[in-house]
Structure 1
Amino acid sequence: MDNPARSSLTGPHAHFAERSGRILRYRPDVTPWLALPDHPDAQDWVDVATLAGPGASVTLTAFREPPPADWEIVFHAEGVQMVDRAVDAAPDPEAVLLGPADVPEMLDLVERTRPGPFLPRTVELGTYLGIRRDGVLVAMAGERLHPAGWTEISAVCTDESVRGQGLASRLIRAVAHGIRERGETPFLHAAASNTGAIRLYESLGFTLRRRTAFLSAIVPADAVTRTRARTPDQGAGSLEQVGR
């Protein structure tokens, strides 16, 4: 849980993983998260560049060390990781299961509400539930990172036209119910500055587990060419499709 993207990609989400050396990432159309080892070295950053490509943006969470000095940081935010301690989880009679056919509507809702990264194949990461009004998708929530025994609730968003009706709370409880039914524990992340969301999550029964951070940086144009010696057991740094 201290490195949830890496725990997911070496566990239940291994079939979504791409690898270069010790670096793992989700396939780019699934979610942007890239996973470093706990203590990355110089070669690890070369492998990040190999996976992402020169000029690409890489997105990290739970990192312990910043990128090299010549990597341009374009986004950085402090965050919190919260876990279910007393959530009143329950199915919701109005919630509907969302799938690949609903992705255009989901992307449209995300564009209007900006809950965080959501890409064309993000829906494949787990269960997504939505609420429609007059046939229009106005709220949703679903599952993202999946360390063994845990599932992250993510993409919680509500259209401005229906805010204040408790739809987000209902969907969080419904998604949490499905996670608990599998014998797993729900958790979630929020920006530390998003005090309104944190208060909502606390009122639902989530408590702070740890503080974390989110960062996006641009790969320098020459990063891939900076080869460093690597011991044989660390891998050659070539791109590998881990899953199918």
Structure 2
Amino acid sequence: MTDSTTTDGSWLSALLDWSVSLMDVIGPAGAGIAIALENLFPPLPSEVVLPMAGLAASRGSFSLFEALAWTTAGSIVGAFLLYGLGMLLGVDRLRSIAAKIPLLHPEDIDRTVAWFTRHGGKAVFFGRMIPIFRSLISIPAGITRMPPLRFGLLTAAGSLIWNSIFVLAGYLLGESWHIVERYVDVVQYAVIAGVAIAVAWFVFVRTRSLVAAARGTRGAQPEPD
């Protein structure tokens, strides 16, 4: 199935060609490995790898069930690796890091942890279906020590939905699977734009607060005799 990708010499094309080669050599397990690595290296896009797994299934290289089972297993493995990273970081270490970064405070970590403790289940489930956050959402789950069984089940459920959409797209669309990529790009750009706006607003508000505090400190200084 090496003719299903375009080789323009870029690093991304090389990664995609490598993932296709894995499927050619070791079958559906190759798709699972590629998706596990996508969790650790988000620039390897699952919305491209998954349709190619579906395309391979439509050609009879392996069954549709195998494509879904292996890609979902790969999603779970990759998510647990990042979950482990979150556990290693821990809340205390993150608070100490935040104290050294301009515009951040340890209290920001406390608020984030408190929010994730309340809404972590929904965040993990729906996060598995949002570009970029698909990988990152596993880290706060590890930081807050979400029960591994709960994390695994939520990850499996969210990943199965996401993977099924794209694997089935490749299976049903065949060589025209690229159609779905256009729509996913729009969603991904919207997510990136939303994150950029949120970060810019945070920096603006925090900088304004620091400036106001600095002016208040100068204004409170006593007049020299």
Sort the TM-score into its range (normalised by shorter chain): under 0.3
TM-score normalised by the chain length of structure 1: 0.23
- Larger helix proportion of the pair: 2
- Larger strand proportion of the pair: 1
Q: Which has the larger radius of gyration?
A: 2
TM-score normalised by the chain length of structure 2: 0.25
Name the structure, 1 or 2, with higher relative contact order (CA <8 Å, separation 6+): 1
